[in-house]
Amino acid sequence: MPQRKPYRVGRSATGLGLFATETIEEQAEIVEYLGRRIPTRLAQEIDRRRGNKYLFEIDTRWTIDGSTRRNLARYVNHACDPNAEAVLKGDRMVYRALERIPPGAEITIDYGEEYVELYFKRGCRCAGCRE
Ligand SMILES: [Zn+2]
């Protein structure tokens, strides 16, 4: 993980987003999805009761609750044709560049069908889908 953050939080078409401030090379690790680790069973319970769109399931045992403000990865928006992906590194969840991301570009990942159906009531509004 680079010492200097190659991104900043900024305004995107759908609210806030994470934007590259310098060139991020393909395959480079961008940001870690930080948060408290809770049992997946408990996470599903929380989600059912009051909803928490920052729950990131690692596996059937563990889920990261990324609702903490220090988790800047939570600002990364969904795109159907994303330029980054989430990868598991040991027990850490890291966003990695799928391609070279130029300064100023919004960093996006694909949240998956389930998330899109659940939280995008009016359909996906990513750059590709807005066209
Ligand atoms: Zn879309």
Do 59 and 81 share a structural domain? no
Domain of 51? 35-69
**Quick check: 56 and 32 in contact, CB under 8 A?**
no
Which pLDDT score, from 0 to 100, does residue 1 have? 56
Tell me how many domains the chain contains: 2
- Does residue 48 share a domain with residue 82? no
Query: What is the whole-number distance in angstroms between the Cα of residue 3 and the centre of ligand 1?
Result: 32
Spatial strand order in the sheet of 7-12: 7-12, 15-20, 106-109, 77-78
**pTM for the model:** 0.89
Residues 55 and 89 in one domain: no
* Ligand 1 centroid – CA 100 distance (Å): 20
Q: Are residues 79 and 105 in the same domain?
A: yes
pLDDT > 70? residue 21: yes
Q: Ligand 1 centroid vs 81 CA: distance in angstroms?
A: 7
How far, in Å, is the centroid of ligand 1 from the Cα of 109?
A: 11
Asked if the structure places residue 81 within a domain, the reply is: yes
Residue 130 maps to a domain: no
Burial grade of 127 (CB within 10 A; 0-12, 13-18, 19 or more)? middle
How far apart are the CA of 84 and the centre of ligand 1, in A?
14
pLDDT digits (tens, 9 = 90+) for 56-90: 999 899 999 999 999 999 999 999 999 999 999 98
Rounded distance from Cα 88 to ligand 1 centre (Å):
24
Residue with structure tokens 């563990």? Answer: 62
- Cβ count near 40 (within 10 Å): 16
In-domain check, residue 7: yes
Closest CA to 29 of 81, 94, 79, 103: 94
Q: Is the domain of 60 the same as that of 79?
A: no
Read off the CATH number of the domain in which 90 is found: 2.170.270.10
